[in-house]
A and B are shown apart, each in its own frame.
Chain A
Amino acid sequence: MIRRTLAVAVKELLQLKRDPRSTLSLLGVPIVLLLIYGFALSFDVHHIRLAVIDQDGTQAARDLSQAFLESGYFDLVYQGTDPRPLDHLLDDGRAQAAVVIPYRYGADLENGRPTTVQFVLDGSDSQMATTILGYARQIVTSISPTLRLRGAEGPVAPLPLVWYNPDLASSRFLVPGLVAFILMITTVIATSLSVVREKERGTMESLRATPLVAIELLLGKTLPYLLLASASAAGSLLLANILFAVPIHGSLLWLGAVTLLFLLGGLGWGVFISTLADSQQVAFQMSLLSTMLPTLVLSGFVFPISSMPRAVQLITHIIPARYYLVALRGIVLKGVGPEYWWGQAVSLGVFAVLMLTLAMVRTIRSL
């Protein structure tokens, strides 16, 4: 049994060697994706065009506007004392945000009275507006605990303290998700194509006539891709570490174990697709459709699951990347052990077993 499995695996590796283009794309595409997404997919907002309307003109008011500019997030595009041009500035997009410091600002502060500054935002891009508002709060709170932004809740000034990702760099949050995304897509596509190719070329019929049984064929076919996908996963994490300073706080062993579970599920899924599709093209499309969108949208990679509608939240339970992401972020960013993510690992294990069984049953039936 081991010999026959090995024969298939060696053949598969030889074919990979003969086809450097697909091998490279299997290894290289994840890296390119990582670079593209890593650099482009950032929720950090810089160079926010800020207008300052200083109706007060005191030193305290200047300190406040200076604090905004020194934060590094804002670029000053307009400074004045009259609030009327504000409409135009925001309408034509010359400014994305504006701070309006009222007349009594300096005096109120001196007299120890609570005071307010107005922060005006272009809310047409709500994601960006939320981020900018977050920055503004942070700045205002940092210069004086007694200052409040209009619309901020409660008299108690927030004292933010962010763990694991102190400067809230989104790359640290996104890169683990990206690794999951890339692994899922490449394993599913690569395995489904490699099995369907045998069907398309007619070699499957000859394989069926040999004493090779389903499990040997599946193992032999998936092992090389498991190897390749693991290499690509390790490469992605290493690159993320070097380029985006994504730390790996947790144990590499646990990281490997959880990743293996995740990969096994993906391989099973790929083989399952190959039993449904008759051409490489169909297999490719099925693989892409069933992995890319769900992993991108429903796994918590980009959009938080907790803010999804109830029905959609239920669907996310069948997306393996959802579990992998939680465990991965836990291990990589928090450095926590299995006691924090064993539930996720169990879910991944269940998914892997289900998928591999399904793949096996379908393969036996079609074999």
Chain B
Amino acid sequence: MSDVVVVRADRLTRKFGDFTAVDRVSFAVDRGEVFGFLGSNGAGKTTTIRMLCGLLAPTAGSASVDGFDVATQAAEIKRRVGYMSQKFSLYGDLTVAENLRFWGGTYGLFGTRMRDRLRWAVATAELEQQRDLLVRDLPGGYRQRLALVAALLHDPPVIFLDEPTGGVDPAARRRFWDLIDEQAENGKTVFVTTHYMDEAERCHRVALMHAGRLIGLDTVEALKRVFPAGSVVEIACSQTARALSAVQAMPEVRDVSLFGDRLHAVLDSSDALDSVRDRLDERGFGPVDARPILPSLEDVFIHAIRQAELNGGADSHVAVGTARGTA
């Protein structure tokens, strides 16, 4: 199995002064996998990616990319990864072609290979018509695709995408993700951070990160199985905010949170649904409509955060699901 593992982190840790941005994170990513890194801002996603790209030395633990150690072989790693940073990384005052030629040049591309790769990039990003347009005049979705192919010019086996679709409309996001899937099918390993749940659902496996720690790692399906069938319910009632604390106080409720004007609750078992409904009715939160739903990734994520916070300082950095390839 080790010959297909492309990215491996082993108790990877990074501290900034007293603050631990990434805390003993371990995982392994296989070739051709789309690996999602899900977490809120400040969860440690970007710090992890920067360590994996050889931009930041780990404080403790180790990680390797395509067989090279991130702490000691950063130069090798830079040649083997494509990195699309959170900030827009193209020059607005250069054209599409000029940008591509520059980024190709920084990887030492030239001659026929440069020409071939430029042609490939422009075709893949579907920017043939926009070749000679200044990048600052391109719509956001086009720029995102251009940034992706720019990071792929040197044909790296691994690409790291740090919140690649920020500020892009849903249609452009879907198109961008089609492009990501295409790369994975061609054997590239895609490591992508996001805080969009719908994007995370498109990943083969998702790592949940919270406060620097990995609190869950598995396929989306498996992550959702953490809840017994029928135990996740959606409740519509009146005075939702006050009902939240009422539900929270019920012993058979493991977890509850507000989703828009409804509540999502995790119950001990599906049997508890009726009693929860009845008691809300009694307390005047009616009319109450409660029904089991399929848990969303967001339910899983929120649940995982609660679990992690309950466990507090305990050394359980993988709280939900099964982490493959960890030591």
By a beta-carbon cutoff of 8 Å, the part of chain A in contact with chain B is: 3-4, 6-8, 10-11, 14-15, 18-19, 201-203, 205-213
Query: CB of B53 within 8 A of chain A?
Result: yes
B85 and A205 form a contact (CB under 8 A) = yes
| A4, A205, A207, A213: residue with the most chain B Cβ atoms closer than 10 Å | A205
A207 and B88 form a contact (CB under 8 A) = no
Choose from A3, A15, A18, A202 the contact partner of B89 (Cβ within 8 Å). A202
Choose from A8, A202, A213 the contact partner of B88 (Cβ within 8 Å). A202
A209 and B55 form a contact (CB under 8 A) = yes
Enumerate 20 A-B pairs (CB-CB under 8 Å) in ascending A order: A3-B105, A3-B108, A4-B108, A7-B102, A7-B105, A7-B106, A11-B94, A11-B105, A18-B93, A18-B94, A19-B93, A202-B87, A203-B90, A209-B54, A209-B78, A209-B83, A209-B85, A210-B106, A211-B107, A212-B106
A206 and B89 form a contact (CB under 8 A) = yes
Query: CB of B227 within 8 A of chain A?
Result: no
Residues on the A chain within 8 Å of B69, using CB: none
Residues on the A chain within 8 Å of B78, using CB: 209-211
Choose from B55, B75, B98 the contact partner of A211 (Cβ within 8 Å). B75
The 10 closest A-B pairs by CB, nearest first: A7-B105, A202-B87, A206-B89, A209-B83, A210-B106, A11-B102, A18-B93, A205-B85, A211-B78, A212-B106
B85 and A8 form a contact (CB under 8 A) = no
| A4 and B105 contact, Cβ closer than 8 Å, known pairs A18-B94, A211-B75, A211-B79 | yes
In this complex, what residue of B is CB-closest to A216? B106
Give B157 Cβ to nearest chain A Cβ, in Å: 15
In this complex, what residue of B is CB-closest to A16? B93
| A207 and B94 contact, Cβ closer than 8 Å, known pairs A202-B88, A202-B89 | no
A15 to B94, CA, bound (A): 7
Chain B, residues 90-107, CB within 8 Å of chain A (1/0): the string is 110110001001111111
Choose from B81, B88, B93 the contact partner of A209 (Cβ within 8 Å). B81
Residues on the B chain within 8 Å of A205, using CB: 55, 85, 87, 89
Residues on the B chain within 8 Å of A4, using CB: 105-108
A366 to B108, CA, bound (A): 23
B89 and A203 form a contact (CB under 8 A) = yes
In this complex, what residue of A is CB-closest to B104? A7
Chain B, residues 289-300, CB within 8 Å of chain A (1/0): the string is 000000000000
Choose from A10, A14, A208, A210 the contact partner of B103 (Cβ within 8 Å). A210
Give B114 Cβ to nearest chain A Cβ, in Å: 10
A11 and B108 form a contact (CB under 8 A) = no
In this complex, what residue of A is CB-closest to B95? A14
A11 to B103, CA, bound (A): 10
Query: CB of B110 within 8 A of chain A?
Result: yes
Choose from A10, A208, A213 the contact partner of B105 (Cβ within 8 Å). A10
In this complex, what residue of B is CB-closest to A367? B55
A11 and B79 form a contact (CB under 8 A) = no
